[in-house]
Amino acid sequence: MRKAQRLRQLIEAPEILVMPGAFDPLSAKLIEQAGFAAAQGTGLGIAASHLGMPDVSVLSMSEMAERTRIIARAVDIPVMADGDTGFGNAVNVWFTVRAFEEAGAAGINIEDQVMPKRCGHLAGKEVIPMAEMQAKIAAACAARRDPDFVINARTDALAVEGLEATIARARGYFDAGATMVFVDGADDRTAIARLASEIGGPLAVNMVEGGRTPVDLTFAELELMGVARVSLPVSLLLGAIRGMQNALAFIGREGATRADSEVFAGFDETHTLVGMDDVRDLERRFLSQEALRQKYGDTVAEGVS
């Protein structure tokens, strides 16, 4: 099954789709290993991890497409790309969708913020007119080659224009062809329930630890409200930052380092995660016995270790 088709099925299923945010191939592999059915590319995570900068449109379309490519090809699960604002007007959106689909994404977020955008859980956002966003969605739908490629129309209007205007925008975005509408920064149970029942199509929200969406809501509660998808865009990024801080504090405190499973992942475990077992399988398949002995010595008789 094509990844775009699989992602669309997961969105349309009655069960809520939980999509942790991937910011590099390693985080994507961990999401897949943990059993999640899909991953969300995270613009904040990619900007922070690759540039050490905030999510304020500092990465170009080509840079984001290339980073999406290496994330998507690292896993078998579908990956939804972060297409920012489409990097310009409706014409730019057309080229953006072509680039991200060719990169292996199964879908894309396109948002209605004024460029340069910012994280949806921060103050200071501005949104473009609804009609301009509808044109972007129409261009995105026209550009995709696979009709199942998911067009996830993100709106940041809730914090700027209020709930009624956000509902109107969402309906207009579905009219323009969006597969799903993602209301960023939803911060109230009642608002989420109204959005799910009134926008006329699949609703996506996100949950940010320390952000606006109530994180005391469980996924089961969101599913009962009618939410189709919840993304966790920075959970792994925040966890990784704290993990690295803890590891560095451990090293500084101990004045040395050692294998400690409470602080460090296993060395062999990490090589397995990134595919070293596959490399050894290829060596056994294609290298001669003599070449293997030169590389590994007598261990070749028992299989390369």
Arithmetic mean of pLDDT over the chain: 93
Q: Please determine, for residue 122, whether its predicted confidence score (pLDDT) is greater than 80.
A: no
In a 13 Å sphere around the CA of 202, the CA atoms on its Cβ side amount to: 24
> pLDDT (tens digit, 9 = 90+) per residue, 192-236?
999 999 999 999 999 998 877 766 789 999 999 999 999 999 999
- Average confidence (pLDDT) over 156-165: 94
> pLDDT (tens digit, 9 = 90+) per residue, 250-278?
999 999 999 989 888 999 999 999 999 99
> pLDDT (tens digit, 9 = 90+) per residue, 38-89?
999 999 999 999 999 988 888 999 999 999 999 999 999 999 999 999 999 9
β-partners of residue 109 are 82, 152
What pTM was computed for the model? 0.92
3-class secondary structure, 158: helix
- Average confidence (pLDDT) over 109-130: 84
User: Above pLDDT 90, what percent of the chain?
Assistant: 82
Report the residue count for the chain. Answer: 305
CATH numeric code, 3-233:
3.20.20.60
**What is the Cα–Cα distance from 151 to 108, expressed in whole angstroms?**
6
3-class secondary structure, 241: helix
**What is the Cα–Cα distance from 303 to 194, expressed in whole angstroms?**
60
Amino acid symbol at 49: S
pLDDT bucket at 125, cuts 50 / 70 / 90: confident
Give the E-state strand segments of the chain in sequence order: 17-22, 39-41, 79-82, 107-111, 150-155, 180-183, 203-206, 229-232
- Start-to-end CA span in the chain (Å): 35
Q: Please determine, for residue 301, whether its predicted confidence score (pLDDT) is greater than 50.
A: no
User: Above pLDDT 70, what percent of the chain?
Assistant: 95
Amino acid symbol at 150: V
Tell me what pLDDT residue 175 has.
98
Domain ranges, ordered by start, for the chain: 3-233
Tell me what pLDDT residue 57 has.
82
Tell me what pLDDT residue 302 has.
52
Q: Are strands 17-22 and 39-41 parallel, antiparallel or unpaired?
A: parallel
* Short-list 89, 44, 40, CA closest to 68: 40
Tell me what pLDDT residue 300 has.
55
Using alpha carbons, list the distances in angstroms from residue 166 to 138, 141, 169, 175. Answer: 19, 21, 5, 14
